[in-house]
Structure 1
Amino acid sequence: MQHTSAIKLYQNHLDPLSRAIMDGDVTRFMAGLHLPHILRTVDSQISFETDDDLRQGVTYYMESLQAAGVTRLERRCKSAVYKSETQIEGYNSVRAYSGEAPAILPFLARMVLEFRDGEWRISETDMAVLRDKWDVLPQVGGKVEPLPNAPSSESEFNLACFQVLLNWLSQAALCNDFDAWSRACALPLTVTGRTGQTVFETEEALRNEFQYYMSAFDVHNVTDIIRRPLDVHMVGETRMTGTCRTYVLSHANLVVQPYDSEITFERVSNGFWQMVKMDNIIGHRDWTTEGAES
């Protein structure tokens, strides 16, 4: 089943749904979703259990977009991987416009596609946005629930958004696809490790580094990267710098002892978040199995 690229399959599924939204075609949009379908923001969640629930929610969404003056919706897959032969997890950007003006700052969404009854459909959607900041989202009266770990302050919201970006950055590497990984990075990209600082100015230089990165994955049989945020601070709405603890795994085993990094994301010229700087205590050029066992 994995003959199709996860990224290609994700985007091919996303495009007709985006068109259905803008066409106001509720039935066509519903056909792309599994039931139950879970929709989360960073502070809320709603589960659509029945066709009637989903129809009400999707109708509300389309009517709200129209009332808000949204004339164009763009969703582009940034990365996607097979979690199994019947499940794909991916990240996509979301851009909404009223004419040529953004209706909201671009944000990242995570979706889970599952293969059931001979079809790929979306079963989960997570959006890195507060519900009241994007109140067009589908809902059915009385069924929107606050998340138990919902951010209670702006700093907690920023930390939650930082976690989403870290998750995307890790998945982009696990794609083993340069285009996916490069979408998570901006040029010039500054990386600091044990050997000093390197600035990647060109796509060719970044591609060479990616190939070295993937070689380290192969040598150490890396199957997952987990980054846990420790803190984050914002500089306006366009720069986010935080520290995180990184766990590099080969199945259940650590490749190296967990290490801390400082990572900076910026909203670059296209308005979307990308990594511009990473300071590591160690990096993939320093990975060694020595001392990895706990």
Structure 2
Amino acid sequence: MTASEAVLIYQDNLDVVSRALMDCDLPLMMRHIAVPNMMSTKDTEIVMSSPEELDIVMSDFRNQLLARGVETYERTCIEAAFVAGRDDMIAGRHKTATTGEDGVAVAEYLNHMVLMRIDGQWKGIWLQAIMDNTELQILSPDIAAAQAEARRMLNTLRR
């Protein structure tokens, strides 16, 4: 496996998931995103443990994009490579750009992502957007708050 193959696989995943997000096509998205799945921003993280949670998070994110006038949502691979010693895992970086009627709808931002080949299909298992969730609410605030409270309670119980 070569670095150029990793870039092609990574970009294909970006393209398919971006299209599925904007089309509200959960079945297509589920073929390219693993569940459970972890997503994070600088200030928030969530684990989506079911297709229903994935659907909620992606619907909330799509609604955020549409509310800001996003007409095109494009993600472009910057770099990707197979993880050392693993031909079933790719780590990479990409940028996300949007446009609307008046030009740029949301400022471009960077992301990190890990893909894993599961049952012969490349799926995203982890994504980190390099921005605060409060800037765009990539992650559903209600789910993020509930999971943060659950972690807080667990930490309290351990003491």
- Conserved 8 A contact 2:17-2:29: yes
Aligned pair partner of 1:103 in 102, 105, 108: 105
Q: Which residue of 2 aligns with 1:230?
A: none
Distance 1:49 1:140 in 2: 16
Q: Which residue of 1 aligns with 2:44?
A: 44
- Conserved 8 A contact 2:70-2:106: no
- Conserved 8 A contact 1:77-1:92: yes
Aligned positions, number: 144
Aligned pair partner of 1:134 in 133, 136, 141: 136
Q: Which residue of 2 aligns with 1:5?
A: 5
Query: C-alpha displacement at 1:63, in angstroms?
Result: 2.3
Q: Which residue of 2 aligns with 1:64?
A: 64
Aligned pair partner of 1:90 in 82, 89, 92: 92
After TM superposition, the score normalised by the length of structure 1 is: 0.46
Amino acid aligned to 1:111: M
- Conserved 8 A contact 1:78-1:91: yes
Query: C-alpha displacement at 1:103, in angstroms?
Result: 2.0
Q: Which has the larger radius of gyration?
A: 1
Task: Point out which structure has higher relative CO (alpha carbons under 8 A, 6+ apart).
Answer: 2
3-state SS, counterpart of residue 142 of structure 2: coil
- Conserved 8 A contact 1:21-1:62: yes
Amino acid aligned to 2:144: K
The answer to whether residue 28 in structure 2 is matched with residue 28 in structure 1 is: yes
Amino acid aligned to 1:7: V
Amino acid aligned to 2:11: Q
Amino acid aligned to 2:21: I
Query: C-alpha displacement at 1:68, in angstroms?
Result: 2.2
Distance 1:5 1:24 in 2: 28
Amino acid aligned to 1:124: W
- The runs of 5 or more residues in structure 2 that have no matched partner are 150-159
Q: Which runs of 4+ in 1 moved over 6 A?
A: none
Describe the superposition over 1:40-93 as per-residue Cα deviations: whole angstroms up to 9, x where unpaired. Answer: 101110110112211111122222222221111111100001001111001001
Query: C-alpha displacement at 1:140, in angstroms?
Result: 6.5
After TM superposition, the score normalised by the length of structure 2 is: 0.82
Matches within 5 A, 1:204-243: none
Matches within 5 A, 1:180-195: none
**More helix, by proportion:** 2
- The runs of 5 or more residues in structure 1 that have no matched partner are 147-294
3-state SS, counterpart of residue 97 of structure 1: strand
Q: Which residue of 1 aligns with 2:155?
A: none
Query: C-alpha displacement at 1:107, in angstroms?
Result: 1.2
Amino acid aligned to 1:13: N
